[in-house]
Chain A
Amino acid sequence: MNVTRRRFIQISGASAAGIAVSGMGFDLSPVRAHALTLKTKDAKETTTICCYCGVGCGAIVHTGKDKGRVINIEGDPDHVINRGALCSKGSALSQLAENKNRLTEPMYRAPNSKEWKKVSWEWTLAEITKRIKATREATFTLKNAKGETVNRTTAIASVGSAALDNEECWIYQALLRALGLVYIEHQARI
């Protein structure tokens, strides 16, 4: 009998209607009792696709009600590629999200400084805008040596990223091209 994990739980749930022995031919009440005590019981459930390699495995993310943080990530049994299985990295996905080493604030390193300084988003994005504009203004080339229109700057380069979503990639390349960048590269090149 080929039953996915989710289907298994559905069947076991249906059996709660009054029959002690499920349609599967054995008693599921201990499983059901255990399921009720699982930490994911009241969690918000969302599906995701693993962020590591390009196989595209599905996973289920459980976000706890109290703190709104990830309490569990596991393979998605109904995903047709991985059918619930995950590799070493995928199995550790929750540690990527819930990790004390993560950056949680914008940081700034001034010229010749030995340290990082915590800064605000407003300040950081405003300063980055100034830097982009200043470099672009100083280096923008309307025509190349042959006199052909090029409308570009070769003094700013961008690398990244295959870690972005498709939609993010699209607006990122559009913005970079509008700024006049031609040095646009990412992981696919290396």
Chain B
Amino acid sequence: MGSNAAENHPISFKYVTMAQQSGGKVISVDPRFTRTSSKADIYAPLRSGTDIAFLGGMIKYILDNKLYNEDYVVNYTNASFLVNKDFAFKDGLFSGFDPQKKSYNKSTWTFDNDENGIPKRDLTLKDPRCVFNALKDHYSRYDLKLVSRITGTPEADLLEVYKTYAATGAKGKAGTVMYAMGWTQHTVGVQNIRAMSIIQSLLANMGVAGGGVNALRGESNVQGSTDQALLWHILPGYTNIPKASQTSLEAFLASIKPVSKDPMSVNWKQNYPKYAVSMLKSFFGENASKENEFGYQLLPKPDDGKSYSWLDIFDEMYKGSIKGFFAWGMNPACSSSNAGKARKAMAKLDWMVNVNLFDNETGSFWKGPGMKPSSIKTEVFMLPAAVSVEKEGSISNSGRWMQWRYEGPKPLGNSKPDGDIIMELGNMLKEAYKKEGGQFPDAILKLKWDYMTNGKYDPHKIAKEINGYFLEDATVNNQEFKKGDLVPSFVFLQADGKTSSGNWIYSGSYTNKGNMSARRSQKDVASNIGLYPEFAWAWPVNRRIIYNRAAVDLTGKPNDEKRWVVKYTFEQKDGKYVPGKWEGDVPDGPAPPLQNPDGTARADGKYPFIMQKDGFAALFGPGLADGPFPEHYEPLECPVEKNFMSAQLVNPTAPVYGTDADTFASCDPRFPYVGTTYRVSEHWQTGLMTRPQAWLLELQPQVFVEMSEELGKLKGIKNGERVKVSSVRGSLECTAVVTKRFKPFKIGDSIVHEVGMPYNYGWRWPVSGKEESANLLTPSTGDPNTRIPETKAFMVNISKIKRG
């Protein structure tokens, strides 16, 4: 659901097929009958943008039929916590909504604490105010009939999916979900995933082999580039970015250190100050000292409450406040939602640096369709980068495996590895500020920048910096280290400046024992579940399945004895149980389980969800912008005038931008069809790394629009004809594919048609210039938590192209 793995992550689908061959059931839920659907045991269609209705119905089905795993729900989730008595939900809005600010005051989205400050729990789940009953209440409205009216999924299909999936809650069974941008690119993107997380927690599918909620990453290193924080809101290792109001390092460290009063909660994030200080030591080296707050003041600070995301960048660029722009290994002229706005915005820049393998629609935007070069002042520097096989370094995959790759040929022509370009640019900037001075030169001059060997970028030096060093002789956790030793893991990092680590989650990846990511051992764990612990390296601490301590019962015994992930064996001393050891995967912390084998409680036991402040999986999630429970809202552009679930049509907290390029058309007869986008196997993302290739372009030469036979008939459109697809923001020419893969949806009492296009194209390649980006159609709105644009559900029209 939310992905089409057979076409977009084909090798991952090999394992789905293997599971199916050993008796597993494969379910495909998609607006279109994809190649994944063709391999599935069950296919259920749904209208784009209605996943929460679909999944909410499943939550209700699981609760109504008591198909959840009670032990897991009581002991490992926050189901038993008592919710603030003032928390409420009414007709689409949670308590605390401020219509002026379009945001929530979350003061009622809290738990009741006991006298020690520990959340109160009702282990019988009977208290009407416990999370479990709040969850039940919330989803009581999501009955089959209503869900079907919203999603367009026939009731029988809903029931079959619910029944089949809910069966994975049984002991010894596992269910997993593979999602991708089909879930994230919505104004309710985060809540789509939350909804599935709730289901997985109810069914005890988190932390187990074959479980989880799996993001199928679309880029080879989008996991790693996120880990390394090429994002405005975080620093490496998911440390929150320091805000303007955090005027001292002390205030910042306090803000990233959650406090739990519960001695049984590991609350791992309380260690973040150690990681943050060690990171500052990597940023600024010897220039970071206790006296200067380890260089904290050298970091730029965003304003509190303001967003600096992708959509904001192009909004500001369009308005003219951004003068200089780097598009480094990206093609925003095609990948940006509302690409027409992004292209016009680029014309307002003074300068752009475009680093890529090929000329692209971004670098050459000034000569693209509708552009007049003579009136565009933007200077463009286009730099040739080396291909991945021409350089050395690591990337991290969807499973958090960091894998090293090597240089085959030298970079072609005068192209250079990105690393060399970055290092050389850094050297020149340092030189310029050293020579000429300027505004706040310290940040640049004090940056640690010694990552070259013989004048060349050296990935090993940086990989070691990311891992971290002991900067002085030290004894930590009863182990002795010498100055210059590589840190064996983040457990040894300190907040006093004696250690460095560019990114704590990668600590342990490059140690005194060598480069862990280059390992190649074929050896699996004893249960043969495919973890291969000595093949490459996974963050954190080579743990292959996170939250694996939730895969055992309270005494540490695996819930699935055949496909076990970890297990605990106690030792006995003088007739008493004393701590023993974990086997299998690297466990989520060394602490013993919550109970002894005889069922007596252990005071030193710890809750399994160690990254959660309270130690429990969050059925009730108070941290998000749009509610502690996922709620169905229509996409910002939708085919219905009313949300059948509540009076609140769209996500009340969704961001909307206000320039003349930010137009929307909901329930507008000019744009009557739901539009969505996807990819094809032969092209990658905007197609920039595949469209200039002969074989792949020959396999998929044209942008096409798929529509149902019914819609084709209605519009008089035949297979293979060129048609114009338009939204209120733009249009493009596509080849019509009239197909059984799309069927009209019955939404409420009306028929709604949906069409879909791959977004893999752009005018620069193929050189005909006729194959354009489907993102010319998509809107500039997005999720209130992440601001990921809503490119998977919008409204379009289709018309035949009449050629004279």
A87:B388 contact, CB within 8 angstroms? no
Number of interface residues of A (CB under 8 A): 115
Q: How far is the CB of B648 from chain A (nearest CB, A)?
A: 26
A170:B236 contact, CB within 8 angstroms? yes
B321 within 8 A of partner (CB): yes
Q: How far is the CB of A185 from chain B (nearest CB, A)?
A: 5
Q: Which of A17-25, A27-35, A171-179 contacts B (4 or more CB under 8 A)?
A: A171-179
A146-175 vs B, Cβ < 8 Å mask (1 yes, 0 no): 101111111111111111111111111111
Q: Contact check: which of B462, B683, B786 meets A171 at CB < 8 Å?
A: B462
Residues 53-78 (chain A) with a chain B CB within 8 angstroms = 53-58, 61-63, 68-70, 73, 78
CA distance A128 to B11 in the complex (A): 41
A42 within 8 A of partner (CB): no
A106 within 8 A of partner (CB): yes
A-chain residues with CB within 8 Å of residue B223 when the two chains form the complex = 54
A109:B9 contact, CB within 8 angstroms? no
CA distance A63 to B406 in the complex (A): 12
B520:A137 contact, CB within 8 angstroms? no
Closest to B683 in A: A89
B300:A169 contact, CB within 8 angstroms? no
A51:B387 contact, CB within 8 angstroms? yes
Q: How far is the CB of A104 from chain B (nearest CB, A)?
A: 3
B329:A163 contact, CB within 8 angstroms? yes
A48:B335 contact, CB within 8 angstroms? no
Closest to A131 in B: B351
CA distance A73 to B335 in the complex (A): 28
Q: Contact check: which of A51, A109, A153 meets B380 at CB < 8 Å?
A: A109
Q: How far is the CB of B407 from chain A (nearest CB, A)?
A: 7
A135:B443 contact, CB within 8 angstroms? no
A106:B692 contact, CB within 8 angstroms? no
CA distance A167 to B388 in the complex (A): 13
B293-318 vs A, Cβ < 8 Å mask (1 yes, 0 no): 00001111111000011101100110
CA distance A175 to B438 in the complex (A): 16
Known: A73-B389, A177-B300. A171 touches B353 (CB 8 A): no
Q: Which of B410-418, B558-566, B740-748 contacts A (4 or more CB under 8 A)?
A: B410-418
CA distance A153 to B316 in the complex (A): 13
A-chain residues with CB within 8 Å of residue B410 when the two chains form the complex = 68
B-chain residues with CB within 8 Å of residue A92 when the two chains form the complex = 690, 693, 695-696
Residues 327-359 (chain B) with a chain A CB within 8 angstroms = 327-330, 332, 335-337, 350-351, 353, 355-359
Closest to A108 in B: B381
A186 within 8 A of partner (CB): yes
CA distance A29 to B522 in the complex (A): 28
B-chain residues with CB within 8 Å of residue A86 when the two chains form the complex = 11
A126 within 8 A of partner (CB): yes
B399 within 8 A of partner (CB): yes
B231:A106 contact, CB within 8 angstroms? no
Q: Contact check: which of B218, B409, B419, B428 meets A129 at CB < 8 Å?
A: B428
Q: How far is the CB of A89 from chain B (nearest CB, A)?
A: 6
Closest to A129 in B: B428
B-chain residues with CB within 8 Å of residue A107 when the two chains form the complex = 359, 363, 381-382
Closest to A171 in B: B422
B309:A129 contact, CB within 8 angstroms? no
Q: How far is the CB of A150 from chain B (nearest CB, A)?
A: 5
Known: A54-B218, A95-B693, A95-B696. A151 touches B373 (CB 8 A): no
CA distance A125 to B383 in the complex (A): 9
Residues 446-465 (chain B) with a chain A CB within 8 angstroms = 447-449, 451, 459, 462-463, 465
Known: A103-B384, A184-B231. A189 touches B330 (CB 8 A): no
CA distance A101 to B766 in the complex (A): 11
B226 within 8 A of partner (CB): yes
Q: Contact check: which of A93, A106, A181 meets B381 at CB < 8 Å?
A: A106
CA distance A87 to B425 in the complex (A): 36
Closest to A103 in B: B384
B297:A135 contact, CB within 8 angstroms? no
A102-125 vs B, Cβ < 8 Å mask (1 yes, 0 no): 111111111111101000010011
B225:A161 contact, CB within 8 angstroms? yes
Q: Contact check: which of A50, A56, A111, A155 meets B399 at CB < 8 Å?
A: A56
Q: Contact check: which of A99, A121, A151, A153 meets B298 at CB < 8 Å?
A: A151
B535 within 8 A of partner (CB): yes
CA distance A112 to B377 in the complex (A): 5
A-chain residues with CB within 8 Å of residue B520 when the two chains form the complex = 78
CA distance A110 to B236 in the complex (A): 36
Q: Contact check: which of B247, B324, B382, B448 meets A148 at CB < 8 Å?
A: B247
B368-384 vs A, Cβ < 8 Å mask (1 yes, 0 no): 00000111111111111
Q: Contact check: which of B373, B402, B438 meets A166 at CB < 8 Å?
A: B402
B543 within 8 A of partner (CB): no
B356:A179 contact, CB within 8 angstroms? no
CA distance A38 to B300 in the complex (A): 56
A49:B405 contact, CB within 8 angstroms? yes
A37 within 8 A of partner (CB): no
CA distance A162 to B686 in the complex (A): 13
CA distance A61 to B421 in the complex (A): 24
A161:B329 contact, CB within 8 angstroms? yes
B789:A190 contact, CB within 8 angstroms? yes
A171:B423 contact, CB within 8 angstroms? yes
B220:A80 contact, CB within 8 angstroms? no
Q: Contact check: which of A98, A164, A182 meets B328 at CB < 8 Å?
A: A164
Q: How far is the CB of B49 from chain A (nearest CB, A)?
A: 17
Closest to A112 in B: B374
CA distance A189 to B351 in the complex (A): 23
A87:B10 contact, CB within 8 angstroms? yes
Known: A114-B374, A168-B419. A154 touches B426 (CB 8 A): no
B502 within 8 A of partner (CB): yes
A-chain residues with CB within 8 Å of residue B367 when the two chains form the complex = 114
A82 within 8 A of partner (CB): yes
CA distance A49 to B322 in the complex (A): 36
Residues 687-724 (chain B) with a chain A CB within 8 angstroms = 689-690, 692-696, 699
CA distance A5 to B663 in the complex (A): 56
B485 within 8 A of partner (CB): no
Q: Contact check: which of B313, B405, B685 meets A48 at CB < 8 Å?
A: B405
Given contacts A89-B682, A111-B377, A155-B322, 13 further A-B contacts (CB under 8 A): A56-B397, A101-B765, A104-B412, A105-B414, A112-B377, A125-B424, A140-B439, A149-B247, A166-B395, A170-B236, A173-B236, A182-B301, A186-B225
Q: Lowest 8 A-B CB distances belong to which pairs?
A: A104-B413, A54-B217, A56-B397, A161-B329, A165-B393, A160-B328, A152-B300, A103-B384
Can you identify 24 A-B contacts, CB atoms within 8 angstroms? A46-B408, A47-B405, A51-B395, A53-B218, A102-B358, A103-B358, A103-B383, A103-B415, A104-B415, A106-B384, A108-B380, A114-B367, A125-B425, A126-B428, A128-B381, A131-B324, A132-B324, A159-B313, A167-B394, A169-B224, A178-B444, A183-B308, A185-B309, A189-B788
